[in-house]
Each structure stands twice: as structure tokens, then as C-alpha cells.
Amino acid sequence: MDLLRSLPIGLYLEQPVTWLHRLDPRVKLVWLLAFTLTPISANPYWRLSIVGWLLLLTLTARIPFRVWRQQMGLVLVFSLLLFAVTLFAPDGIQAEHQPRLPKNELAIVQPASTPAAAPSTLSLPQPTPYRYVLFERGAIKITRRSIELAVRAGTLMFILLYGTNLYLLTTAPEEITAGLDDVLQPLRWFKLPVTEIVLTLTLSLRFIPLVLEEVQNLIRSVRTRAINWKKLGLRGSAQVWLVVAERLIDNLFLRSEQIASAMQVRGFTSPNQHQVQWHQLRLKPIDWLLLVGVVGFWGARFVWGAMLNG
């Protein structure tokens, strides 16, 4: 069990270097915000198109299938599961839907002199093929509202998780913090500690692999002891995992103290006086082209994305 390679949480792909790796992190951040914000209050067709664009980016970047399966496959499965659960769940509208006109409104009943003849009825067909309930069999009921809710929940969850994971997969942590530091420069006018925030983010991104490594080591230590969980029972098993959790917290505090000591030894006084330039951010022609494209992307969102809501 290798948590550092199997968990789809913020892992950076160093090899192979795709065309997404070569883009400026600020440009990728702008597109990430566009992908995550445009589905809000958009019609289902626009949300599905965003899902298609994200999958197309993955295919054109030629990300290895093993990486896609390990780091992104779970996101796709989770989104499909959320879609299925929302589809078959109640749509929240507790109302009985029936035709606009009664069934026997235009019934023509034969005279009473012919009691042996069965009454004949004449019913007009519905003026349109519209149906609110699309499928109903037993406890399973699918309506137009449930399909809309399923598409909304599934696509929003997929776009949020998949888009963010694709950004972290193709952008180094130092590039992310350098791009954010440059983008958040106007906030300095409001006396906000931008450098401190970026430093905290850098340390957080660097700390994620350490947490996974500690969890992995503790799980391996428990497995090597060949504990008989059936004999321990529920209470004994809970006590063992409480001890493991306590040990994990102690190890994480120890790692944090080691990082702080390493920064002090290297003469780190404050972020403003001890800045390290990890990357020289320069916009290339393809970056400028993509920045122009994001304007057209937002224009398409307001033209076609809100067409059904207008």
C-alpha cells in the first residue's frame, strides 16, 4: 500500500512534461477559475460541455493512463455515483401531477333507453408530448427535475475536483505559489500580508507528502504486527487506532518542529526579508493567446450557457 502514489490528492506529475506543464501558472489559474465559476447558474448543456473540455485537455496532454487511473479515475467514479444517487432520489417537489383536463370531460354517454350498451367515451389527446414524469416503476421514479438535479450535482462535483486535480497534476507547488504571489500583488495596497499567505500555502503543499508518508509508515507498522482484529473486538480495535492516531499527531508535530528549526538555521527572519525566487514568470506567445481565449470563453458562457435560463 503506497499512499504517496495511490491517493489522488495534490500529486505533481514530474514526467512526462506535457504542454500543460509548460504553460504559465497564472494562465492556468485563470482558466481554472473560468472552469469552476462558469458552471454556476448555467444550463445543463454548458456544464456537460465543461466536462468534455476537461477530458479533452487530459487526452491532448497525453497524461499516462496509469496516472489518470490512479489520480483522476476515482473522481470520475465518485461523480458518476453522485449522479446516479441524485437521479433516483426524490426531486423535492411533493405535488401530484395530472393532466390539465379531466379524462371524461368530453364523454358522450348514450341515451338511457339502451341500458345494455356500454357507455362510450371520447377523449382528446394531449396537445404536446411533454411529460414531467419520464420513468416510473415501483419505487423508482425519474422526473425532469431529478435529471436536472443529477446533472447539476454530478457535473459541479466533477469540475471542481477534476479541474483542481488537473491543475495540481501539471503545476509544481513552487509555480503555484509564485503565480499566486504575482496575481495577489494588488492586495498589498490594502495592507494584506500577501507574502505570508503565499509562504503558508507553500509550506502546506510541501507538508502534504509528509502527512501521507507518516500515515503510510504507521499503517505498515500495524500490518507487520499481524494483529488479530477478531479477538480484539470493536473496543480493542478502537483503542489500537486511537493509539495510532495519537502517534500520527505526535509525528506531525515533530516534523513541523523540524521544518521550523531548519528555517531558523538558514537565517529565515520574515517572508519580506528572506524571499526566494523559485521561478521567473514570463508570458510566452501561447500564454497570451490563451488569455485572449478566456475572454471568448466567458462570452460564450453568457451567450449560450444562460440561454435556457433567460
pLDDT, tens digit, 9 for 90 and up, residues 87-146: 777 766 555 556 666 666 555 444 555 454 444 444 556 666 767 676 777 777 777 778
At residue 239, does pLDDT exceed 80?
A: yes
- On the CB side of 4, CA atoms within 13 Å amount to 9
* pLDDT value at residue 5: 53
Cα(150)–Cα(90) distance, rounded to whole angstroms?
11
pTM: 0.69
* pLDDT value at residue 71: 63
Segment 12-21 shows an average pLDDT of 82
In degrees, to the nearest 5, what angle opens at C-alpha 90 toward C-alphas 127 and 163? 100
Helix spans in the chain (H): 3-6, 25-37, 44-60, 65-71, 73-88, 144-169, 173-183, 194-224, 229-265, 285-300
Q: Tell me if 151 sits within 8 A of 44, measured CB to CB.
A: yes
Residue with the larger pLDDT of the pair 267 and 9? 267
Out of 13-17, 80-84, 197-201, 278-282, which region has the weakest mean confidence (pLDDT)? 278-282
C-alpha cell at 235: 473496543
pLDDT confidence of 234, banded at 50, 70, 90? confident
Largest CA distance in the chain: 111
Q: Tell me if 31 sits within 8 A of 294, measured CB to CB.
A: yes
